[in-house]
Amino acid sequence: KNGQEMVRNVIKAYDQHDLCLVQAMPDAEGVLEIANSLDKGEDVVVVGHPGLRELTLSHGEFIGQDTIQMTNFKIETKEDCSGQWYEEPILLFFLGQDHICVESIITSAISAPIYGGNSGSPTVNKYGNVVGVVFAGSQQVHDSHMVPLSNLKDFLKGF
C-alpha cells in the first residue's frame, strides 16, 4: 500500500500445508469470513495474483477430500519421516538436497485451475466466505488442492 510493508511478522506456521498467519498493518483492509461447511460439487472461486498478474478469478467446484504425496523438506532424519525417505543422489542433485521425506497429507481437491503464484490464495464460495487456501496443483490429474476447511478452522482457533 503506497510502497509500505503490509506484513509485520509471522504469528503462526502450519508446515504440513505450507501456510502461515501473518500480522498485517493496523490500517490493512479486507477481512474474509470463514465458511461453516463445504459440500461436494459446491462452486468455488480461487482469488489471487498468480505470477504477479492482475487479480484473477479461477472458477471450479469442490471435488472432495483427497490424499496426496508432498515433499517435506523440513524432516531431517529417517526416523522422523512418516512417509518415504529418499537418499538417491541423482534425484536429490536436481533438488539441491541430500535427502527428502515424502509424506501423505489430506487435502481438499477442487477443479479450479491454479497457476504458479496462486499458493496462499483464498478459495471462496458463492457467498464470498473462505472455504480453503490454495497450496498445490497437479497438472497430471488437473486437480488443485487447498487446505481443508476443518484444518483451516483448527489452524485459526484463538485468532
Q: Indicate whether this model's pTM tops 0.75.
A: no
Does residue 95 carry a pLDDT above 50?
A: yes
Residue of higher predicted confidence among 134 and 49: 134
Q: How confident is the model at residue 1 (pLDDT cuts 50, 70, 90)?
A: very low
What's the confidence (pLDDT) of residue 2?
47
Does residue 77 carry a pLDDT above 60?
A: yes
What HEC string does the chain produce? CCCCCCEEEEEEEEHHHCEEEEEECCCCCCCCCECCCCCCCCEEEEEECHHHCCCEEEEEEEEEEEEEEEEECCCCCHHHCCCEEECCHHHHHHHCCCCEEEEEEEEEEECCCCCCCCCCCEEECCCCCEEEEEEEEECCCCEEEECCHHHHHHHHCCC
8-37 mean pLDDT: 69
Q: How confident is the model at residue 103 (pLDDT cuts 50, 70, 90)?
A: confident
What's the confidence (pLDDT) of residue 104?
87
Q: How confident is the model at residue 53 (pLDDT cuts 50, 70, 90)?
A: confident
Does residue 92 carry a pLDDT above 70?
A: no
14-28, 97-111, 131-145, range with the lowest pLDDT? 14-28
Question: pLDDT tens digit string along 116-157?
Answer: 788 888 899 999 999 999 987 655 556 788 888 888 888 878
